[in-house]
Structure 1
């Protein structure tokens, strides 16, 4: 069971002070946070791609490369790369470069993107949303699997038997599919035999169990070894010294961020009642003391079959010191509890719930 962190590198106004951190300062903080995650034994760190004022990371590979030189063990991934509006050749080259710099710790998490600012920025039509992703994923996988590539599609100039460099340390370079729970994307990942990441940020995580089964069924029907296909989840949360302290520290930035996105997408206002309901044992927020958060992750593993867990921390803008302490608690107290319980459970051959 792998435990890690994901971030969108937000630069939203601090709910307490009203101050908005600069992009440059937040990027430097993120590198410090990745270094701390490596020091405390976390397995993976993911940086998301966005192209708007309130997010600082438009190029995850560059951010992760800055951290690669200062870390030793932690895996470094995008979360996600908006492949539909990018060039697969450059994506592959960037992450192959990161793989070399990190000694074989790079991963790509490819997604269609729930934020669409990159499409007009790079000149793509949203009417081609699905077709763009399918075509570019096909090319990315060809680049990953062969040094010389011939390929032709509709949305990018053809490639005629050209080599693409550098080549990564890992063969093959890991490519995951990020999904918000769309059945078609889950089936696609299974048919291709690619690892799956589910964004579980609302409702009840247990509702995602049928999607995991659908993914594994599609993979098995396509002839892939299901036992070798990991499934990850990405959920908002925060770890504090006590459940009460964690809840109070995480709520202001969560409410502010959710209400900004909610206004854009027509969601109702995000209230304390909504927040507290999501913190419940069956909710999608992983907020609390180390035991509370560990127990919820273990429950997710047993009921849904997740083998890698990303805690999205922070959501919005929180004090850097609080985030660093949350990372420390996740690595030194939550992760060991989860790993020990899952190892015990699997050794005993206990069935999934």
Structure 2
């Protein structure tokens, strides 16, 4: 049996191979393809998104491969045409956006994702951005590094606010949102959640499910955790930012397409938003002329919320478990339903 691992410089071929050997036990024919991400940014390739531009190399590696495991390989229709023996494709990320799911389904190829692999990392990063934004950590650090001792920032009109006792709204309540909610509860925050796909009986005792308008009106901090779909694209627009309380904090570690960033930058400049923390953007890398670069009270990171070594190990382990389940005739966790393809 031939297995192709198309690793990169985060979820490496070494991690994938070690996990497969540990889980499968029996030897297998192993082929490798090393993708350039993250040293080279991902982007659209053909009809798929967030992929490494290595379509030709993938096509050359696919003949005879029964199982493929990857995070960033571009499984376009053209690539799948070359997959003459492929029966299982494991995409070791939360969603298989780099896979043409309809083309895979038409060829009878099972597709598996690994949702939750980076939930801990992304949740911790979300809370870090929220705290840094609320307490103006980037601004005060920059001042101190420049030789300023701003004790005047202790003034009532300048100092930050606490998570304890505040109301925080989470838009989206998947694996990451649930972990964020537990951390916020430990800070004694009130947590509101808007997610029309969450069963109230499964929400947990420490959150309150509510409508989006109610969440925005009541939350002094809002964090985005929804998937980007046609339904959620542009979900938090200028009008919804305006509906937030004056001085509120906005955080996005989910997907840039959920948020109107020019509107967010304008709200930061006007002071309607008190602060913001962003890890994802509507265009990546962040454009040189983005108004966010000069907006006040914003902390930004370059799409790194999921970037921990534990995430990489977890992605490899979950992928190997999916391969083992498939080969044993079991339904793998994370199997993408045919109806979604």
Asked if these proteins are the same fold (TM beyond 0.5), I'd say no
* Higher helix proportion (structure 1 or 2): 1
TM-score using structure 2 length: 0.30
